[in-house]
Chain A
């Protein structure tokens, strides 16, 4: 471990700030939706957050599979960082969706397939993060969470499929509509700016989180390899002479 590896980087913070600012300006200057008014601005955060959630969980699956293949902790750190960011954005997607749904649909929650699936994904990866807290052994932690990550690869598409099959009432996907986007061009451009801004933020966050994980692991490893206390040193001969 060289001193260089302990240096923390600043550029991810700058990138996050710049990208966030762009998204903010774009979503505030675009004209409001004809039907939904100012409320439609939530879309510029809600849609990219949802996209990030899926992207992040995809990267977690990739990291888990790569760890099982290469047995390199770097892949475990990537999988973990992505899962944490994913859980955060899934939570954000759900809450913003609720805020949007209440005035638009009249309810906080509706039981359509995409909503249900997002909520289930949130809990699957919450479990993944909880699993990582159960052991301090780096290799064992990596192995167990990677197997769960792969189990999710196997199961999430089936969850997705079964939920879609069960019910689909949600409006058709906004951007990927085969007959072309059903929105005003300025709104489409803003949405694209927001999605790419969020993706850039995701990349910066990944760098920052992986850097932090590397430092956390380095602390654990140095504790576990340097001259730590010896187990038997906690025990001395009983001294009962001073007892009253």
Chain B
């Protein structure tokens, strides 16, 4: 029998370890969602033409659209798939719902970073892009992954176990991800034109911060297993 409740951080790490271990075993992100995103990047030039200047111009934008749309799938991969028995088991471990939210978000964030990095390389190769901004670019990648992970995990816990849950989450996430999408694409545009990308980076940071606050505050009211 347990004596003291584990610290908040320890609880978060428990969830992160569980999620990453499950991903390592199932390979859902690496072997399913990632190839799906890569083939989407391959389909676009087939549909709109393959001349180099066009591809160079639309490449970064296509990359971000695909990260946002397909990234939702990564963040909700296991949220709705759990059975009632699994959800009961997790609830009765006594883990703090806020720790579960932060843990799931962190695991999704890490998977999204990998997703972005590999798709980024695919984009560079297929669309002949030359990346610039060796400090700003990783910052934007990190903020986009964090924002999307927060938004999707939050949307998934709002929808929870309701009817047609997996179909609804992307509809909730897509319109609200606009500041992230604009932040990411415009920061890139600013870098390319040699302007400061700082305002857009700040915008993304504020979005992430607000989502984190709402997510943590709503975690307990939203943990309803029935």
| A and B assemble together | yes
Hey, which bits of chain A sit against chain B, CB under 8 A? Answer: 120-121, 123-124, 126-127, 130-131, 133-135, 137, 140, 143-144, 147-148, 150-152, 154-155, 158-159, 161-163, 165-166
CB distance from A75 to the nearest CB of B (A): 15
Q: Which of A131, A147, A150, A158 is the one whose CB lies under 8 Å from B203? A: A158
Hey, which bits of chain B sit against chain A, CB under 8 A? Answer: 154, 158-160, 162-165, 168, 171-172, 174-176, 178-179, 182-183, 186, 199, 203, 206-207, 210-211, 214, 218, 221-222, 224, 226
- Known contacts A127-B175, A162-B182, A134 near B168 by CB under 8 Å: yes
CB distance from B89 to the nearest CB of A (A): 21
Query: Are B178's CB and A120's CB within 8 A?
Result: yes
> Inside 8 A of A158's CB, which chain B residues have their CB?
179, 203, 206-207, 210
Q: Which of A123, A131, A133 is the one whose CB lies under 8 Å from B175? A: A123
Query: Are A159's CB and B179's CB within 8 A?
Result: yes
Query: Are B179's CB and A162's CB within 8 A?
Result: yes
Query: Are A134's CB and B172's CB within 8 A?
Result: no
Closest to B170 in A: A127
- Known contacts A130-B171, A162-B178, A151 near B162 by CB under 8 Å: no
Query: Are A154's CB and B214's CB within 8 A?
Result: yes
The answer for the CA separation of A83 and B162 in the assembled complex, in Å, is: 20
Most buried by B among A121, A123, A154, A155: A155
Query: Are A133's CB and B163's CB within 8 A?
Result: yes
The answer for the CA separation of A26 and B150 in the assembled complex, in Å, is: 49
> Inside 8 A of A133's CB, which chain B residues have their CB?
163
> Inside 8 A of A147's CB, which chain B residues have their CB?
158, 214, 218, 221-222
Query: Are A135's CB and B175's CB within 8 A?
Result: no
The answer for the CA separation of A148 and B214 in the assembled complex, in Å, is: 10
Query: Are A155's CB and B176's CB within 8 A?
Result: yes
Most buried by B among A126, A150, A158: A158
CB distance from B80 to the nearest CB of A (A): 11
CB distance from A239 to the nearest CB of B (A): 32
The answer for the CA separation of A166 and B203 in the assembled complex, in Å, is: 12
Closest to B174 in A: A123
The answer for the CA separation of A162 and B158 in the assembled complex, in Å, is: 25
A and B contact pairs by CB, cutoff 8 A, 25 listed = A123-B174, A123-B175, A127-B171, A127-B172, A130-B171, A131-B162, A131-B172, A134-B162, A134-B163, A134-B165, A134-B168, A135-B163, A137-B226, A143-B221, A144-B160, A150-B214, A151-B214, A152-B176, A154-B210, A154-B214, A155-B176, A161-B179, A162-B178, A162-B179, A163-B178
> Inside 8 A of B172's CB, which chain A residues have their CB?
127, 131, 148
Closest to B154 in A: A151
Q: Is the interface of B mostly helix, strand, loop or mixed?
A: helix
> Inside 8 A of A135's CB, which chain B residues have their CB?
162-163
Closest to A143 in B: B221
Query: Are A159's CB and B176's CB within 8 A?
Result: yes
Query: Are B168's CB and A130's CB within 8 A?
Result: yes
Query: Are A166's CB and B186's CB within 8 A?
Result: yes
Closest to A121 in B: B175
Closest to B164 in A: A134
The answer for the CA separation of A223 and B199 in the assembled complex, in Å, is: 54
Most buried by B among A123, A127, A161, A166: A127
Closest to A145 in B: B158
> Inside 8 A of B163's CB, which chain A residues have their CB?
133-135
CB distance from B178 to the nearest CB of A (A): 5
- Known contacts A130-B171, A134-B165, A134-B168, A151 near B224 by CB under 8 Å: no
The answer for the CA separation of A144 and B223 in the assembled complex, in Å, is: 11
The answer for the CA separation of A187 and B214 in the assembled complex, in Å, is: 45
CB distance from B207 to the nearest CB of A (A): 6
Closest to A128 in B: B172
The answer for the CA separation of A134 and B159 in the assembled complex, in Å, is: 8
- Known contacts A131-B168, A140-B224, A120 near B175 by CB under 8 Å: yes
CB distance from A242 to the nearest CB of B (A): 37
> Inside 8 A of A166's CB, which chain B residues have their CB?
182, 186
Most buried by A among B154, B165, B172, B222: B172
> Inside 8 A of A130's CB, which chain B residues have their CB?
168, 171
Query: Are B158's CB and A131's CB within 8 A?
Result: yes
Closest 7 CB pairs of A and B: A134-B162, A123-B175, A162-B179, A127-B172, A162-B182, A158-B179, A124-B175
